[in-house]
Structure 1
Amino acid sequence: MKKFTGYTKGINLGGWLSQCDHSRETYNTFITKNDIDRIASWGLDHIRLPIDYELVETEDGQYVEEGFSYIDNCLDWCQSNGLNMILDLHKTAGYSFDEFETSTGFFENDTLQNRFMNLWEELAKRYGKYEDRLSFELLNEIVDPEVADIWNGIAKRTVKVIRQYAPTIKILIGGVRNNSVDSIKLLDMPYDENIVYTFHFYEPLIFTHQAAYWVNKMTADFRTVYPNEFAKYRLETEAFLPSENGEIYSNITQDIIDKKFFETAFLEAIRVANERDVALYCGEYGVIDQADLPSTINWYSDINSTFEKFEIGRAAWTYKGKDFGIIDKHYEPIFDRLIKLL
């Protein structure tokens, strides 16, 4: 399969310039150069930097020069450490994956779509020249499965805009259902040789999101382990997750959910990527800080070996905070082992 060179092992900087309170205090203190130095010391080759439109745009669409300075700083810190970077637009005006039910209009509104494309034009003007160490990710996690065709159209037009200023920069595009690996097949054929297909993988969700307060039906006291019996996961999923989350098990024939599960789950996306000669990348994966530590190591070990087997680049979620932070207290007893499995 085609490789995403320079983006083999990475980590997200969630909670800094995205999914945050968008204050100067957060921007200036949550991540500093010392954090980037530390990440480089782990032997990783890139970071994924999520940003929200509020960082660089006012509500009426005017650009905020100070906001761009934080992207500039991160690029400089990465360069000094020999790290590549993915610039991920995590939220755009009119749409956010974690505000899906209250986000309004983006997929039906030409004005909001044009604003999205204009923002990417501005980003391409500013950062397209760094294509040797920077890649662009159009938009994080399209939730609604019904907008697959609309999203393909928006992505195609946006790529065309970016290419005016960054003709060969790598552009990452993910599918519907929160960048599901099963939605890779619904993406358009790559528009050029520098398109990368991206997906996120937190399955079995019942394990990686146990006790997650933001998940519908989930309870704070629920716990489960990995590996586990297929039948047990299925029953737990029915009890504690929305009904659509059980679909991941529809093609599973094994009795135990273990390393083989990842290979089965990735198989179709790998086939599609091979047929279309496009690189495949996992932009997010991780285990919530409510899971027990031995199970966390087991999960990371199995998914990591699968990434390695099929040469799929990836970035763990996440460096700090957001209930998944690798450097947070919960993971201290397994930290040295864990960073070797990223």
Structure 2
Amino acid sequence: MRIIGGLFVLHFFIRKIVQGILLLLITSAAAFFLLSSAGSDAFTSLRENPQVSAAAIEKLRASYGLDRPVIERYGSWLASAARADLGDSFYYQVPVAQLVLSRFWSTAILAFAAVGIACLIAVSLSFLNARFRSRTLSAFTDGIILVFASTPRIVISLFALAILVYGAITSVFWLSAISLSVPLVALLLAQFNQSLNDAMREDFVRTARAKGLSETAIILRHAFRAAINPALTLFGLSLGALLGGSVIVETVIGRPGIGSLTVIAVRNRDIPLLMGVMIIVSLAVWAGNTLAEVLQFVNDKRLKAQEGE
């Protein structure tokens, strides 16, 4: 049995690594060709400067390899990326990997804080709904889901900016985290609340009640484990949206991170920097999905062990 379990784990990680490589190849190729076909590059704006000759611009483009065919440039970029060399940023004139990683950790910490806030709200309200089964509380929960899910992120960010300006909350970090967490609260609360209600109707809950366990103990020790897997799946799927949402939140509130860096890269047509952002974000999404699947697997084993007791 241990050999079979070891083979299963090995197969899982090989499959995830292959998926990760394919994801990077497809994402990088699509991004590179789309960015290169935009019809302009980082040096296009120099043509508006009468003091810079066309020959000087072409020489500058050639020094960065922008005069070569797109396929050849992508091949060179891919070969360098395989050696962990993402090139230099056109705008910042520093290595892309160094720049993106320094900003990524700032956004990653922000994303973890947003996930923590969303989980705290979603789990707390779902627990209260399952424990007390109040129509008023259920209506309140549905209202939060509706409002949080339907409010555009730009509106949330502008509201947070107004709070910052008037000094109600002075921490840029926590305002950014709260703003980023709002749509995730709606998703996790809707999913976990429904999953927990479904779990409370299962046979193992009736068995636990027959043993004399309190409702609180039943929810925390039994129903939570059965309800958490769909929420983990949703978390893995929403990670990309969470990082994407940082573009709006960080730009509006003015917090440095991967989101605001992306806006700067787009504004300056900095292809190496945009590619670096795309790769790092894709790796983060892949890692998040892999972690969610691992946690689901561990939770499934615990559920089976619990059912066997």
Q: State the TM-score, normalizing by the size of structure 2.
A: 0.22
* Structure with more relative contact order (C-alpha pairs < 8 Å, separation 6 or more): 2
More helix by share: 2
**Which has the larger strand fraction?**
1
Of structures 1 and 2, the larger Rg is shown by 2
> What's the TM-score once normalised by structure 1's chain length?
0.21
